């Protein structure tokens, strides 16, 4: 019995060592992250800092496996930047900014139109589960009391 345990432990150890040897050979690429979950390229990080979506100290450089999704730089057409500058010069940029500063960012349209339906469904399902749980416990108590008699 002891030999089987030792043999299986040795086999698992060798398997783990083999997997680690393959993992060491994995090549990495450089990415930048704020939260350790989402990764961006250096160009995207610089754009975020340039457009004040982030501060210079927010990102840290990390090495990630080659199959990790890294968000690249956005492609902002030059005509869009020129158009925005013209709107600011004409005074129309303030209206656009006021619209974007509204709570939902789109004027009067709700940001999450189906959120109330989702919350309502979650509450309803939770209530049904609670009622079913209470009823099942009452039935179990009833069966136990019948067994004791």
With tokens 């090495």, the residue in question is 63
pLDDT value of position 32: 93
Query: What is the pTM assigned to this prediction?
Result: 0.36
Calpha distance 123→125 (Å, rounded): 6
pLDDT tens for each residue of 84-119:
777 777 765 555 555 555 554 445 556 777 888 888
Checking if the pLDDT of 123 tops 90, the result is: yes
Average pLDDT value for the chain: 75
Q: How confident is residue 12, by pLDDT bands cut at 50, 70 and 90?
A: low
Calpha distance 40→48 (Å, rounded): 10
């Amino acid at each position: 019995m002891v030999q089987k345990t030792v043999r299986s432990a040795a086999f698992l150890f060798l398997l783990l060592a083999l997997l680690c040897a393959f993992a060491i050979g994995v090549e990495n690429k450089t990415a930048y992250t704020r939260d350790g979950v989402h990764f961006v390229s250096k160009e995207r990080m610089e754009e975020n800092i340039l457009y004040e979506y982030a501060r210079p100290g927010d990102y840290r450089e990390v090495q990630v496996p080659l199959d990790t999704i890294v968000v690249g730089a956005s492609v902002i057409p030059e005509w869009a930047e020129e158009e925005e500058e013209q709107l600011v010069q004409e005074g129309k940029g303030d209206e656009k900014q006021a619209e974007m500063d509204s709570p939902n960012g789109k004027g009067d349209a709700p940001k999450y139109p189906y959120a109330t339906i989702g919350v309502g469904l979650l509450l309803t399902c939770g209530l049904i589960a609670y009622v079913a749980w209470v009823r099942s416990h009452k039935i179990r108590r009833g069966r136990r009391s019948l067994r004791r008699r």
